[in-house]
Amino acid sequence: MAKKPQLTTSAGAPVASNETTKTAGPRGPALLQDYQLLEKLAHQNRERIPERVVHAKGWGAQGTFTVTHDITDYSCADIFSQVGKQTEVLSRWSTVAGESGAADTERDVRGFSLKFYTEQGNWDMVGNNTPVFFVRDGYKFPDFIRTQKRHPKTNLRSPEAMFDFWAGQPESVHQVTILMSDRGIPVSPMHMNGYGSHTFSMWNKDGKRHWVKFHFKTQQGIKNYTNETSEKIIGSTREKYQEELYNAIDEGNFPKWTMYIQAMPEEDAGKQAFNPFDLTKVWPHDDYPLIQVGELEMNQNPENYFQMIENAAFSPSNVVPGIGFSPDKMLQARIFSYADAHRYRLGTHYEALPANAPKNSKVNHYHKDGAMRFFTNDFGNPDAYYEPNQHEGPVADFSVKEPPLRIDGDADRYYQEDADVDYVQPRKLYEMFDDAQKERMYKNYAAAMGPCSDSVKERWYAVLEKVHPDYAAGVKHAVETLDTDVNTVPITENTPIEDN
């Protein structure tokens, strides 16, 4: 048998024992000089880092993105430069509200984040499994998240807080409808779509800009659990997604998604009845059909979950030349808040960690020092620590700047009155559901809203009434009769429910 490697201290010195504390006599007290014991205990105390404020429970994998269709008319980003081009990807999927030990199959929106290690630096697509979100203004984000977390006194999740907030925030009804629909509990991360949700932009080599939406459609089919099935699963395992994802990849059954974009010419943005930069809206497929781009295949389990997935830091601020932002107010807020969350959770130099460091491009910047500055600048000249300099330090490249964007309007705080435009798309979604889907949604509401006060219930029914009177009546009836038994509703297949 091969000789095992020698155990060392973190400073590399050989260790004499990893079992017996140095003591004064066989029964005597421990000696403080046994620094290796102190070191071991001190390290154990520091094994946890703060969990993410949102999206704490997650599952991830590594894989490959392959371009299958030419979109160079829309984007000059190197990642899309050639059909057949492949780029390494890191993914992390998550629930939003639960803590890092939460059960996987809870009703919640799922995060769907991708880090593309392109040759022009990392591009992060930090999306969800829903094409819209609960709020459209960054001011509302901390309040919304607070309603999803524990009540300060009871330390319990609070349906009262959730529906109170949503009722005062009717723009939420689109996302709440999806959450309460079959898609609220995916069977696994492999069985759900991913959406960039925000409007982003792309520009081509001629400087022509389009606004774009990103879609990643699962090739495994969308499959969902009912509340009843998910409760049974949670009774037997809280780690259903981790088990299934890990085993699928381990056995060579690699999950795949087809990537599409929707593209809107820059000048069309002002012509829509709805605001195309409003995160509570989709772009209708008929008006902006899906344009196929490529295939995402997740084919590798990380060697070390903590190193690659817990340390993964996705931020919508990570874009590359050819992909840009839009005036979406929530996106603008997330550009700051995601990178800042990582600086707090992981440290100033989080982007130098293995999960986050670019793999296929060089990092050349002048950020200096700070905690955990364990790397030097790549350009190798210690005299070039400021800019401009007479040395061979890196310089900015004006050729990658995005085309100018014309902005009109007076600086102000624009309050959007409660308007029918917020109910049009949820209405369309509601009308798409067949009777059985509607019945299941009503019962999911009954399970979720049962504990709410009458005043909150009435205010939420009033919101639903504006979407569709049948929607309000269906939910009200289910809540009043506390009818939560979805298994009484006919479904084509009991477990799971497939919607396409």
Binding site for ligand NDP (CB under 6 A): 131, 178, 181-183, 193, 282-285, 425, 428-429, 499
Which position has the token pair 């340390």? Answer: 311
Cβ pair 59, 242 in contact under 8 A: yes
The 10 Å Cβ neighbour count of residue 62 is 20
* Least distance to ligand NDP, CB of residue 282, Å: 4
* Least distance to ligand NDP, CB of residue 36, Å: 56
Question: Which segments of 81-199 are extended strands (E)?
Answer: 86-95, 110-118, 121-128, 194-195
Identify which of residues 149 and 427 has a Cβ nearer to ligand NDP in the complex. 427
For the chain, the farthest-separated pair of C-alpha atoms sits apart, in whole angstroms, at: 85
Cβ pair 63, 254 in contact under 8 A: yes
* Least distance to ligand NDP, CB of residue 222, Å: 6
Identify which of residues 297 and 499 has a Cβ nearer to ligand NDP in the complex. 499
Six token digits for residue 102: 């939460």
The 10 Å Cβ neighbour count of residue 227 is 22
* Least distance to ligand NDP, CB of residue 379, Å: 44
Cβ pair 166, 39 in contact under 8 A: no
Q: Dihedral sign, CA of 462, 463, 466, 471?
A: negative
Identify which of residues 277 and 350 has a Cβ nearer to ligand NDP in the complex. 277
Concatenate the DSSP letters of all residues of 241-278 into one string: HHHHHHHHHHTT---EEEEEEEEEEGGGGGGSSS-TT-
Identify which of residues 158 and 193 has a Cβ nearer to ligand NDP in the complex. 193
Beta-sheet pairing, 110-118 with 194-195: unpaired
Identify which of residues 201 and 280 has a Cβ nearer to ligand NDP in the complex. 280
Q: How far apart are the first and last CA of the chain?
A: 54
What is the distance between the alpha carbons of residues 448 and 485, in angstroms, rounded to a whole number?
A: 12
Identify which of residues 175 and 315 has a Cβ nearer to ligand NDP in the complex. 175
Q: Which residues are catalytic?
A: 55, 128
Residue 478's contacts (CB-CB under 8 Å, 6 or more residues apart) are 442, 443, 445, 446, 484
* Least distance to ligand NDP, CB of residue 270, Å: 20
Determine the Cα angle at 203 with ends 198 and 204, to 5°.
145
| DSSP H or E stretch at residue 439 | helix 435-449
Identify which of residues 179 and 456 has a Cβ nearer to ligand NDP in the complex. 179
Would you call 158 helix, strand, or coil by DSSP?
Answer: coil
* Least distance to ligand NDP, CB of residue 331, Å: 17
**How far, CA to CA in Å, does 129 sit from each of 178, 222, 484, 498?**
10, 11, 24, 15
The annotation status of 442 as a binding-site residue, yes or no, is no
Identify which of residues 174 and 334 has a Cβ nearer to ligand NDP in the complex. 174
Q: Quick one: DSSP state of residue 467?
A: H
**How far, CA to CA in Å, does 462 sit from each of 133, 283, 475, 483?**
20, 26, 11, 20
Six token digits for residue 218: 């699962």
Binding-site annotation, residues: 338
Binding residues for heme are 338
